[in-house]
Amino acid sequence: MAYKRQFYPGNSIPAKNRRRYLDPKVKLKNLRDVAQDDVVRIMGHRNPGEDYKSIHPPIEEGKEPECPIRKLVTPIEGAKHGDRVRYIQFTDSVYFAPISPYQRAWMYLSRYRGVDTGTLSGRQIIEVRERDLEVMAKEMIDNETFDPALTGIRGATVHGHACRLDENGLMFDGWQRYIWDDEKKEVVYVKDQVAIPLDRKISVGAPGDMKDLRERTTIFRADGVDMRDDEEVTKYGIRIHYLRTLGGFQPWKVKGE
C-alpha cells in the first residue's frame, strides 16, 4: 500500500487551514502583488539591480571532491551561483493572524528546499541562498499567509505579537517599520526589516477584515475556535504531549505507541 502523507488532524477551520498551508500540492491564493524590487528594499540586504554577493564560486566552476550525495541532489539556484545566505523574519499577531510561527516552520520545510528556519514565541526566521530567498519572500508576502496588519516583517526588535491591536487594527511594532496610510487606507512600510528608513513608502495593501481573518487563521483561541472544540485535534495534542513526556522521563514505556 502506497504511503499517504499526513499533515494535521481535525475538522475545524484552523485545522483545515493548517493542512492547506502545509500541503505543497495546494496552491495558496495571492491576495496582493508587491513588486519584487520593493520586496528586496524591505528585506534590505542589497539594492535592487545590484549583483548578488557570493561566498564561493559557482558549483560548476568549483573543484570539490567526488561526493555521491552531490550527484543525487539538484542544487537550488543560489547554491549553483554561490550566493551568500540571507534571511527574512515574520512576526505573527496572536489576534487571528493567518498563520503562527511554528506553523510557518512546518510550511517552509514542507514547501521549500535548501532552507533553514527557527521559531520563537512570536517570530519565525527563514534563511536560504539570497536569490532563492527573494522569490520565496515575495510569495509569502503576496499570498494568504500574510496580512498587512497582523503580519510584520521584522529582522530585529520583533516584539509586539501579543500586544493589543491599535485603532487601525495594526499589530504593535516598537520601530514603526510600517504605518497606516489614512488616505489610501493601506499599510505602508517606511523602514526596512531592521528599521533603516526607506527612500519611499512601500504599500503592502489593505488589511483583511476580522471575519475573513477568522476564516483564514491557523490559530486556536478560546474566543475563536477552541482546540477543545475539535475532538480529533485534542486527542492528537494530548497524545503528542503524553509521548513527549514519556520519551524524556520513561522512554521504555513508549514501546508500542
Residue 99 is predicted with a pLDDT of: 98
Residue 28 lies in a domain: yes
Output the domain CATH number for residue 58. Answer: 3.90.320.20
Residue 132 lies in a domain: yes
Do 159 and 63 have their domain in common? yes
Residue 3 is predicted with a pLDDT of: 86
* pLDDT tens per residue, range 218-243: 999 999 999 999 999 999 888 888 88
> Is residue 51 packed enough to be buried (19+ CB in 10 Å), middle (13-18) or exposed (0-12)?
exposed
Do 126 and 246 have their domain in common? no
Q: Can you state the percent helix, strand and coil of the chain, rounding each to 5?
A: 35, 20, 50
Q: Which letter does DSSP use for residue 30 in this model?
A: B
Do 142 and 250 have their domain in common? no
Do 131 and 253 have their domain in common? no
Do 111 and 232 have their domain in common? no
Residue 66 lies in a domain: yes
pTM above 0.85?
Answer: yes
Do 190 and 253 have their domain in common? no
Do 127 and 153 have their domain in common? yes
Cβ atoms of 192 and 204 within 8 Å: the answer is no
Residue 2 lies in a domain: no
The rounded distance, in Å, linking the Cα atoms of 221 and 197 is 36
Question: Which domain covers residue 56, as residue numbers?
Answer: 13-224
Residue 181 is predicted with a pLDDT of: 97
Do 37 and 147 have their domain in common? yes
Do 147 and 250 have their domain in common? no
Tally the domains of the chain.
2
Cβ atoms of 24 and 115 within 8 Å: the answer is no
Residue 50 lies in a domain: yes
H/E stretch holding 119 reads strand 116-119
Do 48 and 169 have their domain in common? yes
Do 41 and 134 have their domain in common? yes
Residue 1 is predicted with a pLDDT of: 76
Residue 8 lies in a domain: no
Residue 249 is predicted with a pLDDT of: 83
The rounded distance, in Å, linking the Cα atoms of 187 and 175 is 15
Q: Which three cell numbers stand for residue 241?
A: 504531549
Do 100 and 211 have their domain in common? yes
SS3 89: strand
Please give the single-letter amino acid code of residue 123. R
Q: Which residues contact 23 (CB under 8 A, 6 or more apart)?
A: 7, 110
One-character DSSP codes across 58-75 = -GGG--PPP-HHHHHSPP
Among residues 152, 160, 148, 149, the alpha carbon closest in space to that of 125 is found at 152
The rounded distance, in Å, linking the Cα atoms of 32 and 216 is 15
Kindly compute the dihedral angle of the four CA atoms of residues 142, 136, 149, 121, in this order, to the nearest 10 degrees.
Answer: 150
List the strands of the sheet with 85-92, edge to edge.
116-119, 123-129, 85-92, 151-153
One digit per residue, pLDDT tens: the chain, 257 residues?
788 888 999 999 999 999 999 999 999 999 999 999 999 999 999 999 999 999 999 988 988 888 898 889 999 999 999 999 999 999 999 999 999 999 999 999 999 999 999 999 899 999 999 999 999 999 999 999 999 999 999 999 999 999 999 999 999 999 999 999 999 999 999 999 999 999 999 999 999 999 999 999 999 999 999 999 999 999 988 888 888 888 888 888 887 66
Residue 4 lies in a domain: no
